[in-house]
Amino acid sequence: MQIVRVNKFLFLLFIAFTSVVQAQTGTSSPYSRYGIGDLQSFSHARNAGMGGLSFAVREDSVIPDFVNFNNPASYTAIKFTSFDAGISGTYANLKNSRNNETVTNASVQYFAFGFPVTKWWGGCFGLKPYSSIGYGMSDSSSIADTISDTQITVTNSFSGKGGLNQFFIGSAVQPFKNSVLRFRSSEKYKTLIAENDSGQIEKIERRLRAASGLSFGVNSSFLFGTLDRDRRLEFNNSSYYDFKQTNSSDLGGFYFNLGLQYSFTFRNNTSLVLGAVFTPSMNIKGSQTTLTERYQRIETADGGYDNIKDTIKYEKSNPGSVTLPMSFGGGVVYKKAGKWQFGVDYLQQNWSSYQAFGETDALSDSRRISGGAEFGIGKDKALSKGKIMLRIGGYYTQTFLQLKNTQLNDYGISLGVGFPIARRSSMINMAFEIGERGTTANDLIKEQYVNLRLGFTFNDKWFLKRKYD
């Protein structure tokens, strides 16, 4: 009965989370105007505390299980049923050569539910933002009115909202997990024992142990969402009608990413983990609507409204698609279970191949390198109650934005901490990211930001068979 109640609770939580994700705006950056918006790839609070390190991060069952959805091959390391959820907040200062503005933003980041199917097979499903659009900016200039021989101020305004969400189902296998035990129950092993061939037995078992650390995984996802972009041309003269153009894209389609991890344990109980991820280029189908209108702004006591004069253009495109790029990456982590780990990741995304309904957005290929470390506080005898985990990291990204012949980079450092709760079966993770994106050169915008990420990991022994009733 308890499991039934928890299942109902998680189902209701999932429905509520879905509604929140679809309704929220996950960014306030003017650079989310381009492409499909700001990418939300490295959102997990634990990974964020290590600079986004994730491709070779693998659970070791000493600290509470968590769902590392950035590499689906990691699902084979989940020992208990694991529920993960996270939220984030951003404080950013935006400035160019003329203006300076402060913005804040808060959003739900992810929901994930991981579970072991067998000792060599793990599964997962969840929901998280894939990209977010949320910006508002304006620029004023003057034009000459030849009839009245006066100067008229014209304001260009740009705004956008929306983004893509990702519902994913993942699975991973560790095909050689119990290969040594299977070998020892085989006829070949019995024959070698009878022949007293210990050398051949040792050679075979050494090879099988080496292969047992290999895991493969895949995330099958459905991307969906709406991207809304609005442009307005407003005159400070009531003799002129203002113009506004709204462009709305509704998208939905399937998306896949593959993962691989290889873990090798040394005699001193340290481990080396190698990870790799790959996502092929895919087309997400959708439709696009463009609406252009003339209007006059009518101000009232409760805020005002747009009085539409006429519709200049209404165009709904035939079904089209958005081409998402191929990406690949890899990482390495060296660790000692429950004590420390450190590593580095590299990711490349070929955004130069991006297209939306047959048009490009002049994006360039992006590259990201990140690294970080995690340390446990406390003696080994405290493991049964859990350890406080301290994290530090950094990252450098050559973004897909190259504006006014200027490459925009994003870099920063991160600090994180994990607090075990409920007798080490669960953990609260916090991460702070301090970074900078863009530049004030060529009248561009520099963003200096602080991100706070808060994650909750809850574990329980669901689906495990009891040895005694």
Alpha-carbon distance of 118 to 174, in angstroms, equals: 10
pLDDT, averaged across the chain: 86
- The pLDDT value recorded for residue 465 is 53
- The pLDDT value recorded for residue 468 is 47
- CA–CA–CA angle 40, 330, 285 (5° rounding): 45
- The pLDDT value recorded for residue 211 is 86
- Residue at 193 is within a domain: no
CA neighbor of 99 nearest in space, from 454, 446, 393: 446
Alpha-carbon distance of 29 to 40, in angstroms, equals: 13
Choose between 319 and 372: higher pLDDT: 372
Q: Give the total number of structural domains in the chain.
A: 1
66-91 residue pLDDT tens: 899 999 999 999 988 889 999 999 99
43-69 residue pLDDT tens: 789 999 999 999 999 987 666 678 999
- CA–CA–CA angle 117, 120, 121 (5° rounding): 40
CA neighbor of 454 nearest in space, from 191, 88, 23: 88
pLDDT range class, residue 187, cuts 50, 70, 90? confident
Domain around 43: 2-177+213-460
DSSP for residue 300? -
Alpha-carbon distance of 384 to 69, in angstroms, equals: 26
**Angle, to 10 degrees, between the axis of helix 187-194 and the axis of helix 198-211?**
150
Query: Would you list the DSSP string of 389-437?
Result: EEEEEEEEEEEEEEETTEEEEEEEEEEEEEEEETTTTEEEEEEEEEEEE
7-17 average pLDDT score: 51
- Token pair of 342 as six digits: 């450190």
- Is pLDDT above 80 for 24? no
- The pLDDT value recorded for residue 422 is 65
- The pLDDT value recorded for residue 27 is 77
- Residue at 202 is within a domain: no
Residue 382 CB-density burial (10 A; 0-12 exposed, 13-18 middle, 19+ buried): middle
- The pLDDT value recorded for residue 192 is 84
- Residue at 227 is within a domain: yes
- Give me the phi and psi of 275, to 5 degrees please: -135, 150
Q: What percent of the chain has pLDDT over 70?
A: 88
pLDDT range class, residue 3, cuts 50, 70, 90? very low
127-158 residue pLDDT tens: 999 999 998 888 777 777 766 677 788 888 88
239-258 residue pLDDT tens: 788 889 999 999 999 999 99
Asked whether the beta carbons of 407 and 40 are under 8 A apart, the reply is: no
Alpha-carbon distance of 93 to 158, in angstroms, equals: 19
- Residue at 201 is within a domain: no
- The pLDDT value recorded for residue 224 is 95
- The pLDDT value recorded for residue 270 is 92
pTM of the predicted protein model: 0.87
CA neighbor of 101 nearest in space, from 111, 92, 109, 110: 92
Report, in angstroms and rounded to the nearest whole number, the Rg of the chain calculated over CA atoms: 26
From residue 353, alpha-carbon distances to 33, 73, 287, 361 in Å are 18, 27, 20, 10
- Residue at 70 is within a domain: yes
- Is pLDDT above 90 for 463? no
364-372 average pLDDT score: 96
- CA–CA–CA angle 84, 424, 47 (5° rounding): 40
Alpha-carbon distance of 274 to 206, in angstroms, equals: 19
383-388 average pLDDT score: 63
- Residue at 299 is within a domain: yes
Contacts of 199 (CB under 8 A, 6+ apart): none
- Residue at 409 is within a domain: yes
From residue 136, alpha-carbon distances to 105, 110, 444 in Å are 13, 25, 15
- Token pair of 125 as six digits: 């499903």
DSSP for residue 190? H
262-296 residue pLDDT tens: 999 888 889 999 999 999 999 999 999 999 999 88
Alpha-carbon distance of 381 to 412, in angstroms, equals: 36
399-432 residue pLDDT tens: 999 988 898 999 999 999 998 886 557 889 999 9
Q: What is the CATH number of the domain that holds 421?
A: 2.40.160.60
- Residue at 247 is within a domain: yes
